[in-house]
Amino acid sequence: MIEKKVKKNTRKSPKMGKIISFEKSFALCPRACDEISDLIMDYCGKVGTERKEALRYRLSAEECLLYWMDHGCMGKQIRLHTGRYMFTPFFELEADGAPLNPYSGEDKEFGNYTNSILVSLNLGPEYIYEKDKNRIRFRVKKKPLGQIVKLGIIMLMALLIGVAGMFLLSEGVRGKLLEAVINPVYDTFFNILGCIAGPMIFLSVAWGVYGIGDAATFGRIGRKMLLRYAGTTILVCACCAVFFPLLGPGLSGAGSAGGQLESVAKLVLGVFPSTIIEPFQTGNTLQIIFMAIVIGIALLYLGQQTSAIARAIEQVNLIVQFLMVIISKLVPYVIFLVIVNMIWSGNISVMISSWKLMVIMVIAFIAVAAAFLILTSIHRKVDILVLARKNIPTFLVALTTASSAAAFGSNVKTCEEKYGIESSLIRFGIPLGMVMHKPVSAVYNMLLVFFFAGKYQISCSAGWIVVAIIISSIIAIATPPIPGGGAVAYSIIFAQMGIPEEAMAVALALDIITDFLITAFEMYVLPLSLINISYGLGMIEKEVLTRKDAGQ
């Protein structure tokens, strides 16, 4: 017998319908590999994974099993376990014995850092070795359609209830419901969000600096890519500040050069907190980020002397991100309250007037993509239409799913087969770019700030615009790509720029629509930046890049 049943849990779920948790053991051999692969495909189908993704999980699991077979595990016991981790379905392969990491030999130059990014994005398997057991955990992605449909239903219900309440309930009853139920729940949610926002940004930046510091030891490639991604984000955001006159209330104090100089000086000197807890008490984002960068650099410089603290920061960062995943589950219901609140309180006009923001946003995104295309075409002597057409499939995947993870496979394929970028650079550059290359997100953050500054008549000086550019860029880069990250970003930016809390209601409602466009354009311009980086490193096949039918 090649199979021995160890444990089976057949609890049912209304969402999944059938078995969602089981554990089986096998004596590892080619036949067992086939049976395990079939079980994985069956499990992926039950949790609603797309067939293409299920096949990818199956192939990855088979590669892992074959690696273990080739390294002395033939005939030994292998366990397959499925379940849920952080609300995400997963399956896990387990083998007893000495450490056998199937992924340790890949990309010795970039492998460990790249793999950690892929795991955090739920794009790669996680290798764990503890108690003499090798474990490979695959977090299974479900179809994104369910969440979109859920949000659509919730928004429709909110509109129906909001409009019905206007006709069926008196103004006094609506006021009491707002005061006693809706507003307290709404305020509590944003208090929780504000409580976790500062620590999340601090931990994300501190751990990011420490990890990227390791990447910088890779030499010119790691440093150049990091600086390119961060620099591009800030530069694009600064260029798009030209849209301020179309959204903002106009500049105040523009004639006082001394006043502008003073405001810039306050910006620079204001990043130094008077106490270590002041930034978190006051919600000063620049001070939080400054402290995180300093501590990250200190950890990097001290190395093994502070390895325990670095490990603690990593683990607390995981805890905070786990909490954000939980909080993100509440966002659709908060949006329900937001829409009802806006209708009953008469503030729906702010939402309606956001059409201007949406139009300018689309124009700005197209301008950013066009600038990337034109500059890359000129510098690399490539036909701009050929360059633009090759990444359209990735753009469409991201546009229809609002998921950079869903577009990851298409992006990798395009970069390798159509742009001719070396695979080792792609496996490092694309995951890092999904975290660090955020020009489109930064532009949207800034436009949102400009829009609400105009709506609430906030006094805006040149120094205020400089702060808006810096904050929008840094927060775009620092916010981890996790559910609920966008809500945290808005709360931090609004608090820093003096935007009233009620603006969050509109921002969250708009986020449902804008997320699709932001993700699509973000994934479209990332490979263009990677082309320019690869040229400087000599890691691209120019013939493939310029060929019209490359990869077809």
Domain coordinates in residue numbering, the chain? 3-139, 146-546
Alpha helices (H) along 278-347: 278-282, 285-302, 307-328, 331-345
Measure CA 174 to chain center: 38
- List the one residue out of 356, 111, 319 whose CA is nearest residue 214: 111
Q: Find out whether 275 and 188 touch, Cβ atoms under 8 Å.
A: no
Residues 369, 388: Cα–Cα separation, whole Å: 9
β-bridge pairing 126-130 and 3-9: unpaired
Pick the CATH number of 146-546 from 1.10.1740, 1.10.3860, 1.10.443, 1.10.3470: 1.10.3860
The fold of 3-139 is Heat Shock Protein 90 (3.30.565)
Residue with tokens 């805006």: 460
pTM, 2 dp: 0.76
Q: Give me the tens of pLDDT residue by residue for the chain, a chain 552 residues long.
A: 333 444 444 444 333 334 467 788 888 888 888 899 889 888 888 887 777 778 888 888 888 888 888 888 888 888 998 887 666 788 888 888 888 888 765 544 555 556 666 666 666 787 888 878 888 888 887 655 555 677 778 888 888 998 898 888 888 888 888 888 888 887 788 778 778 877 888 887 887 777 666 555 555 566 677 788 888 999 999 999 999 988 877 776 544 455 555 655 666 666 788 888 878 777 777 788 888 888 888 887 787 788 888 888 878 887 887 787 777 777 778 878 888 888 887 767 777 778 889 999 999 999 999 999 999 999 888 889 988 999 898 898 888 777 777 788 888 888 988 999 988 788 778 888 887 899 999 999 999 999 999 888 888 888 888 888 988 998 888 876 666 667 778 888 888 888 887 788 788 878 877 888 998 999 999 999 999 888 888 888 888 888 876 444
Three-state secondary-structure class, residue 159: helix
